[in-house]
Amino acid sequence: MLKLYNTLAKQKEEFKPIHPGKVGMYSCGPTVYDFAHIGNLKTYISTDILRRFLEYSGYEVRQIMNITDVGHLTADDVNQADTGEDKMLKGAEREKKTPQEVAEFYTEKFFEDLKKLNIEKSAYYPRATAHIPQMIKIIEALIKKELAYEVNGNVFYSVEKFPSYGKLSGIKLEELKAGARLEEHPDKKHPYDFSLWLKAPKNHILKWKSPWSLGYPGWHIECTAMSIEYLGETLDIHTGGEDHIFPHHENEIAQSEGYTGKTFSNYWMHNRFLLVDGQKMSKSKGNFYALRDIEDKKYSPMEFRMLALSAHYRSNVNFTWTAMDQAKTNFKKIVEWKTNLQNLAEKAEDKKSEIDFSHIYQKRFEEAMDDDLNTPLALSVLYELITETNKLMVENKLSEETAKNILNFWEKINKIFGLIIKKERIDVSQDIIKLAKERKEARKAGDFQKSDELRKEIEEKGYIIEDLKDNEYKIKSK
């Protein structure tokens, strides 16, 4: 039974879906004005692990991820992020393109990153700009309920009218000191009131007609509108990065619950940040790498996935090149183990294996994942299995059938890890193959001196020969 840390309850809770066997999951997606950085991608990998583990546990998951192509202003760190430039317009200005072109380009790039990282596709990726009527409808209802008010063509949510405001993030409105009012918007009645709709300045490109002004939506309302549209009024799980707890998700709750009168999401899963030198990786700090940057340094997306898996999703990952090297080593260890198993398993006969490793390891693996998706612990269980089976392989004590059994277990758990391991392919020239064959014959004939000489010759040409059972061998590059 999966126990998930629920930010709302501030503790781990047993996961119980609204409808048996089904999970509705909403994940806040990217603002598509630039490449996603690997911090963003760490969050999407953790969400992917949750999704994959739910599927492994037998649930049918419907995941929706929005694409923010309007309304997200740059002043992220300021109160309700209702000031600053529109991120999309900033991107458009920088690239001398229309906001739509910018959105299209970076959405495509984002999908490419997801694919490279083997992140499962959401059922749908709704765009904010395609849901303006739904947002307007909700804003109208909130005004009618007196939870929102209009001033000068701007509409704000009145946080004081929503009694449980702060229940997710723990902020308390009354603790806001007099005089410490955050200078945000002159039309707001309370500094924590947040925009639902903003009147567009004259040259603002992205704008729509509304009952209040020619304008554009605030950042938070899109998620309320699109989650209700595609998943209904109550979600099973809502995910995002830790910076979203406040204001974004606190405000989503106020809007959605104010509108429907129902619980917005039963579980809230938040990922901790990826850090660089102890600081959050972010575009505004200029300390960010995109996936392509680490690929340029000859690390593969799978090695980055490995790095993300090696930390619990509620721990920070400190990004360093040393940590990437470690991830590379760990990934290589898995690849080599799997390749060796595969070589053995290919010769398996149709009979039962003498040891059922999956039986021994599966329970421990599932316990780790059930405990709030403890991927580092799950990986350590895998590493134990690797050590044990490698030892048996070296001693020629692992039967083909057992190798097949372990391989099947690996395929099963890798549905959660999601590591793509391509069949190892090394281009070995014909003369090396010829030498290796000669060496095999020498070994068969018991001529170990010749076999050793041939091994040396192969090594001098840059290859290593690994002996397997029954005089079989594997050629690897050095």
Write out the residues near Zn ion by the rule CB under 5 A: 28, 223
Of 239-247, 303-311, 364-372, 432-440, the window that binds ligand AMP (rule: CB under 6 A) is: 239-247
Residue 43 touches ligand AMP, criterion: CB under 6 A: yes
Residue pair 6/13 in contact (Cβ under 8 Å)? The answer is: yes
Query: Of 17, 39, 71, 258, which one interacts with ligand AMP (CB under 6 A)?
Result: 39
Q: Which amino acid is at 93?
A: E
Residue 241 touches ligand AMP, criterion: CB under 6 A: yes
Query: Of 81, 226, 281, 385, which one interacts with ligand AMP (CB under 6 A)?
Result: 281
Of 7-15, 95-103, 238-246, 431-439, the window that binds ligand AMP (rule: CB under 6 A) is: 238-246
Q: What is the DSSP letter of 371?
A: B
Residue nearest ligand AMP, Cβ-based: 241
Residue 282 touches ligand AMP, criterion: CB under 6 A: yes
Query: Of 114, 159, 228, 274, which one interacts with ligand AMP (CB under 6 A)?
Result: 274
**307 backbone dihedrals φ, ψ, rounded to 5°:** -60, -45
CB nearer to Zn ion: pick between 92 and 245: 245
- ∠ at Cα 78 (76, 79), nearest 5°? 110
Residue pair 197/212 in contact (Cβ under 8 Å)? The answer is: yes
223's contact among Zn ion, ligand AMP, none, with CB below 5 to 8 A by partner kind, is: Zn ion
Residue 222 touches ligand AMP, criterion: CB under 6 A: no
Q: Which two tokens stand for residue 25?
A: 């999951």
CB nearer to Zn ion: pick between 32 and 379: 32
CA pair distance 303, 425, nearest whole angstrom: 18
Residue 30 touches ligand AMP, criterion: CB under 6 A: yes
Complete edge-to-edge strand list for the sheet that includes strand 279-280: 279-280, 274-276, 317-318
Of 26-34, 356-364, 440-448, 457-465, the window that binds ligand AMP (rule: CB under 6 A) is: 26-34
CB nearer to ligand AMP: pick between 237 and 435: 237
Query: Of 156, 165, 273, 417, which one interacts with ligand AMP (CB under 6 A)?
Result: 273
Give the pairing type, strands 274-276 and 215-217: unpaired
Query: CB 113 → ligand AMP: shortest distance, Å?
Result: 12
Residue 358 touches ligand AMP, criterion: CB under 6 A: no
CB nearer to ligand AMP: pick between 113 and 243: 243
Q: Which two tokens stand for residue 158?
A: 């009145």
Q: Which amino acid is at 257?
A: E
CB atoms inside a 10 Å sphere around CB 456: 10
Residues that bind ligand AMP (rule: CB under 6 A) add up to a total of 17
CA pair distance 21, 253, nearest whole angstrom: 25
Residue 28 touches ligand AMP, criterion: CB under 6 A: yes
CB atoms inside a 10 Å sphere around CB 173: 13
Query: CB 43 → ligand AMP: shortest distance, Å?
Result: 4
- Is the preceding peptide bond at 247 cis, omega within 30 degrees of 0? yes
Query: CB 271 → ligand AMP: shortest distance, Å?
Result: 6
Of 172-180, 269-277, 321-329, 421-429, the window that binds ligand AMP (rule: CB under 6 A) is: 269-277
Complete edge-to-edge strand list for the sheet that includes strand 154-157: 148-151, 154-157, 194-199, 215-217
Q: Which two tokens stand for residue 136?
A: 């307007």
Give me the half-sphere count of Cα atoms (radius 13 Å) on the Cβ side of residue 468: 18
Helices vs strands, H then E, count in the chain:
14, 15
Q: Which residues bind ligand AMP (CB under 6 A)?
A: 28, 30-31, 39-40, 42-43, 240-241, 243-244, 271, 273-274, 280-282
